[in-house]
Each structure stands twice: as structure tokens, then as C-alpha cells.
Structure 1
């Protein structure tokens, strides 16, 4: 298995789908540079509106982990039984 499954999810404007924003230092206010939609709830609002995208990425990561774990277990069992000799 991998040592890390770190992922980065690019948040997008819920109106136009762009990811180019301007924001204040605390990210309590965000504005899309393409359509000029303002998110007065800032980063938290943008995360909430991108929740479906975040959940999809989480599901894909979980599937990747399951697949890697299954492959590792299969290899481990193969290696274990390969070394066992029947009398």
C-alpha cells in the first residue's frame, strides 16, 4: 500500500465552475474572478457548496485504498502459502 493517500481538491465556483478566486486574508470573503459571484461565507461556504465534489473524491480514495489493501493481502497470502510445504 501507499504510505499516503493525500489528495488536494480544487474548489470551484458553483455558478461558473472556475477556480480563480480573490479573497481576504482570513478567507471569510471570496469572490470568483470569472463571474464575480461573491461568497460572503468565505471558505466555509465554498466548501459546503463543493461538498458533492469532495464526497466523490473521498469515495474514489476509499475505493483506491480498498483495492490496494486487497492486492497487498492477496500477495501476502500467496507468499505465505508458497513457503508452506505439505507432507
Structure 2
């Protein structure tokens, strides 16, 4: 984990302890993509909340916050993958 990713993770943990920075990408220029995950999922409202919380980075980067999608999806925990018992 890079220093920047670690710093962002700490800031987001203060916002919501279950938010997870799954990956950072710097595709070039001043762009910074932050992929976040949460046990309850990531919707537009959560991305907006994170963007507002990290507003101070907007002076330095063109910030993009997104859900991880299949590329960076975190592995399921055993509790998430348990199937309900059959009859």
C-alpha cells in the first residue's frame, strides 16, 4: 500500500470504519482514481460522500471515486458466501 493510499484509507476510516480503499490508479496527468468498497455496496451517494470528504485533494488531483467493479472486487468473507440451508 502506497503512502497516499494509506493516508486516504485513514481519512476514510474516520468517515466510516467499513469503507475500504481497494485500489488507486494514477492514469496520467493529475488524475487520481480511487476505488472504494463497503459491505453494504457502493452507490453514487457513497461516492459523492467520499469525494466531499476528500475535497482537499481536489487542489492537487482530478479526483474520480468509483466502486471497484469486477477488476478490484474484494474477496467475499465466509459470512457473505454462506448459503441458506436447504429446507
Q: Please, what TM-score do these two structures have when normalized by structure 1? A: 0.25
Indicate the structure whose relative CO is greater, using CA pairs within 8 Å and at least 6 residues apart: 2
Q: Which has the larger radius of gyration?
A: 1
